[in-house]
Amino acid sequence: MRKSLIFTACCLAMALGLKAQIPALERVEPMFWWVGMHNPNLQLIVHGDHIASRTVELNYPGVKLVAVHKVENPNYLFLDLRISAEARPGTFPIKFNKTGEKALLYSYALKQRDRSAGRAQGVTNKDLIYLIMPDRFANGDPSNDSFSDMRETGVHRELMFGRHGGDIRGIMNHLDYLKDLGVTAIWLTPEIENDEPHASYHGYAVTDYYHVDKRFGTNELYKQFVEKCHAMGMKVVKDLVHNHAGTEGYTILDMPMKSWVHQWPKYTKSNFRDMAVMDPHASAMDRKLMLDGWFDNRMADMNENNPYVQNFLTQNHIWWVEYAGVDGFRLDTYPYNDPQYMAKWAQDVKAEFPRFSIFGETLVWSAADQAYFTQGNTVSQGFDTHLPGVTDGVVKDAIYEALNGKEGWTDGVNRLYAVMAQDFLYQDPTRNVVFLDNHDMSRVLSIVGEDINKYKSAMAMLMTLRGVPQMYYGDEILMKGYSNPDGLIRQDFPGGWDGDKINKFTAAGRTEPENDAFNYIRKLANYRKNTTALQTGKMMQYIPEQGIYVYFRYDNKKTVMIAYNSRDKEQTTATARYFEQIKTAKKAKNVITDETVDLSKLTIPAKSTLVLELVN
């Protein structure tokens, strides 16, 4: 009943206009723009009390007001501008005139693009991504913990779904920790405003697309965070949500038009079945439910077939790259979006930022399903998605099957071999993001039954398989938990708050097992950072025998051999069958221990992985 009432309320707000008082000129978005963009067209969304009753006037060299669009809701105007190549940076008034009343003025700024080499540089297989939930990592500025004008107030660290007070300043205070660990890119779950009344700390119910949530900081602080990361040799991934928006945002409370979101007679959820998008035999209704059904009752499903919605989203995302200089986008719930729009969106972004990288969250069940969403029309999608890479959930599942599964022809470690063998489906599998866990799923330590050998093997595979490795905050200090519910895997990082009794950002605050895990990851991550064979090198794998899976990463500088023993007992194996890569090498260096290893045969402990650099 509650869900139906919420949905009905949203529909009424859309149909009648927001009854609460709004200023005569409440906002113009994007608030400012730049000269010299690849696309000369810009559409401004203007929101204000009966703003559609006014005429619009502007006069600035190189800027033409092409069209003024009035829509169903009189509180909106959409202004089409064309910014010519001759336009120069500067400020000009946009006038909203009405007979018998004083004109409303908005001072619009056109800025010079920042073409510095270190901005929008792309996140690639040379990087290691570290995923952080800002609310749960560290509180660097207690003064922004709570605001009385927001729907959810107070800091309640004792509540699983409450706000805990972490922020951008807290992350900035610990960049040295991440740099030391070997991290080269930081992905934050969405940091923009989520002014929902309950449990919106995660960031995926946006209510203001153009402002950082003030409990995390300010737009300027976010820009400083990106700049500081760049100065330290680290990149930043921004998390985007195309598919849905929080129901308390102004475009949802006071919708521009009925078609701004997908409308249903009553609250209707997605069926969450990605296969309906690609299935040649799918019913039209199944596909509609997948794409147009709501993700949650507090997350309105955006209608990406609406050209106004398309412009609103695309321009916002381009705005953030040019404003802050972020290096890549992670796209939330990618399969739920309109495929044609997302293909155009990717082209528009890449046209402005050619080096920029993009990867979509897919979380599907087979390599073919994943490949469907990636660019190149490699599996006969019938169109090109222009999506460079995806979050490789299929590899993740195969790693866990190799660690936990019972050995069989296609089970256990053979599953991992088989999944990697399907890389032919992708235009370029090295653009996929390989991961073990994240903010929506059980942590790696718990999935492997808190077996440290399995944990280290998982981390070794993460760092040495093809693709872009991504780890979740706290995995390096053995944080654990099952996502039942997901709040259990979104714990605070110990030491991130003043008054924490333990500070695990320091070696002194960590237990011996935690330091062992931290040092293992640090050694491997920093080795990877300095080894091109593990970044951009080729991969050769061998069919597992007696439960031992061997693969190589290699280039013209180094050859690295990775050997995993999937069985519950130590095994010794001859290495003659790997002659194609071992060639004349007699010895190797154990990357973790620095010990010299005789390559004539290998002894591998139970459920363990050796990472060996061949020595000629």
For the chain, the domains span 2-111, 129-534, 540-615
Look at strands 433-435 and 389-390 and give their pairing.
unpaired
**Model pLDDT, residue 199:** 92
- Closest C-alpha among 336, 331, 371, 329 to residue 350: 329
Domain 540-615 CATH assignment equals 2.60.40.1180: yes
Find the angle CA(478)-CA(482)-CA(484) to the nearest 5 degrees.
155
CA distance 533 to 535: 6
**Intrachain domains 129-534 and 540-615 with the same fold:** no
Residues across the chain:
616
Kind plus residue range of the DSSP H or E element containing 572? strand 571-574
Residues 6+ apart with CB under 8 A from 485: 160
Residue 568: the pLDDT is 96
Dihedral pair phi/psi, residue 190, rounded to 5°: -50, 130
Among candidate residues 456, 438, 442, the one with its CA nearest the CA of residue 592: 456
Report how far residue 17's alpha carbon sits from residue 13's, in angstroms, rounded to the nearest whole number.
5
Beta-carbon neighbour count of residue 410 at 10 Å? 9
Question: For residues 429 and 585, is the Cβ–Cβ distance under 8 A?
Answer: no
Residue 361: active-site member: yes
Q: For the chain, how are helix, strand and coil distributed in percent, rounded to 5? A: 30, 25, 45
Catalytic annotation present for 292: no
Q: Is the CATH number of domain 2-111 2.60.40.10?
A: yes
Beta strands per DSSP E along 421-537:
433-435, 468-472
Per the CB < 8 A criterion, the answer to whether 208 and 249 are in contact is yes
Cα radius of gyration rounded to whole Å, the chain: 26
User: Helices 413-421 and 393-404 sit at what angle, rounded to 10 degrees?
Assistant: 150
Angle (CA) 118 123 125, round 5°: 130
Q: State the catalytic residue, choosing from 239, 322, 361, 392.
A: 361
pLDDT for res 21: 84
Q: How far apart are CA 396 and CA 496, in angstroms?
A: 29
Q: What would the CATH number be for the domain defined by 129-534?
A: 3.20.20.80
CA angle 384, 387, 389 (to 5 degrees): 130
Q: Are strands 587-590 and 609-615 parallel, antiparallel or unpaired?
A: antiparallel
Give the per-residue pLDDT at 616: 85
- Record the pTM: 0.96
Q: Rounded CA gap, 424 and 429, in Å?
A: 8
564 in helix, strand or coil? strand
Distance CA 39, CA 83 (A): 9
Please give the Cα distance from 6 to 1 (Å, whole number): 9
Question: Residue 609 has which token pair?
Answer: 């992985």
For residue 192, the cross-strand partners are 212
Q: Looking at 167, 208, 332, 423, which residue is catalytic?
A: 332
Q: What is the mean pLDDT of each run of 10 residues along the chain (616 residues)?
A: 42 47 96 98 98 98 98 98 98 97 97 95 98 98 97 96 97 98 98 96 97 98 98 98 97 98 97 95 97 95 98 98 98 98 98 98 95 96 96 98 96 98 98 98 98 98 98 98 96 97 98 98 98 98 97 98 98 96 97 97 97 96
